Amino acid sequence: MSTFIDEIVTLAKPYVYRTLPVYYNNFSELLKKEFWVVSSWNKDHVLLNTPFSFGNNQVEKITEAASDRCLTELLGTGPSKKKCTIASECLDIMEADGYKGYEVTHQLLYFILIDRLRCFSYDRIRHQRNDYVIKGLCSNIFQQASDLSKTEFNGRIDHDLFMEQIAFCGGLLGYKEFLRSDWLNYILSWQLDSGCFSVINSKLSENSGYRRKRMDVKLADGGYGCFGHCTAVAVISLGGYLRETVATMKTCIEWN
């Protein structure tokens, strides 16, 4: 399966470059397999029992443009052209409290990149370990995801957000709390016959209020209405469930 996925990524890269060249140049490092290797799946990954707070008031919303600007500075593809550049204006945004929805998942992504890029200067700047920040943000996201799971998901509008929450904290980081069987059933029930995922259904037109992700693309799927971002976060989420299943099976074999 790993080889098959590698082949898919290899085939997809030229398409991404042709359709989104600037975006590809800024974020191509995130497409490298080794960037997302998890060395200790689920080891000591337990969420906090209380809400996490930076102790800073929200100064402004985290827009996709602001998020991209801060992420490219970390990656070394921003104006500074230097990896692990942690700008004060980015910390003002990313270390604020009160974010919800996509804002807090983009906030989390910033600190995930600090961890994966090994930007140790952050720990020195703020005198706190980055892994605790990530744990705290996932704890807050888990509460938001739990609240969302108790709703009707606003048609399909909130499917994308719910799967992004699971993808980041469950799929990429391995927090078991996100890998619930009932949440897996939700995701599988949303998959279209073509195999992909969408935010649009017969009761929901594209003009009904769904705030489409700026870099999202509608896929050529024979009329099913597949969306790239929605499908991507679903795949990452399901990857987390698969990895957890394999880890559990391995443990059972070792015990026997």
Rounded to an integer, what distance in angstroms lies between the CA atom of residue 222 and that of residue 219? Answer: 9
Q: Above 90 in pLDDT, residue 68? A: yes
User: What tokens appear for 220 in the block?
Assistant: 């050529």
- Residue 202: the pLDDT is 38
* Mean pLDDT value across the chain: 84
- Residue 224: the pLDDT is 54
- Residue 221: the pLDDT is 54
pLDDT category of residue 205 using cuts at 50, 70 and 90: very low
C-alpha distance from residue 184 to each of 181, 191, 193, 197 (Å): 5, 11, 17, 14
Judge whether 153 and 210 are in contact, CB under 8 Å. no
Highest averaged pLDDT of the listed ranges 51-60, 132-141, 240-249: 132-141
Judge whether 83 and 75 are in contact, CB under 8 Å. yes
Q: Kindly report, residue by residue over 225-234, the tens digit of the pLDDT.
A: 688 889 999 9
Rounded to an integer, what distance in angstroms lies between the CA atom of residue 80 and that of residue 119? Answer: 15
Q: What is the mean pLDDT of residues 199-222?
A: 51
Cβ neighbourhood burial of 43 (10 Å; 0-12, 13-18, 19+): exposed
pLDDT category of residue 209 using cuts at 50, 70 and 90: very low
Q: What is the mean pLDDT of residues 93-109?
A: 95
Q: Above 60 in pLDDT, residue 116? A: yes
Q: Kindly report, residue by residue over 2-46, the tens digit of the pLDDT.
A: 788 788 888 888 988 898 899 999 999 998 877 887 655 555 568
Judge whether 166 and 210 are in contact, CB under 8 Å. no
- Residue 157: the pLDDT is 74
- Residue 6: the pLDDT is 80
- Residue 12: the pLDDT is 84
Angle, vertex CA 36, rays to CA 34 and CA 41, nearest 5: 115
Give the number of other Cβ atoms within 10 Å of residue 154's Cβ: 15
Rounded to an integer, what distance in angstroms lies between the CA atom of residue 218 and that of residue 163? Answer: 17
Kindly state the percentage of the chain with pLDDT values over 90. Answer: 50
- Residue 54: the pLDDT is 93
Lowest-confidence range among 54-68, 111-125, 138-152, 193-207?
193-207
Q: Is the dihedral of CA 196, 243, 130, 141 positive or negative?
A: positive
Q: Above 50 in pLDDT, residue 207? A: no
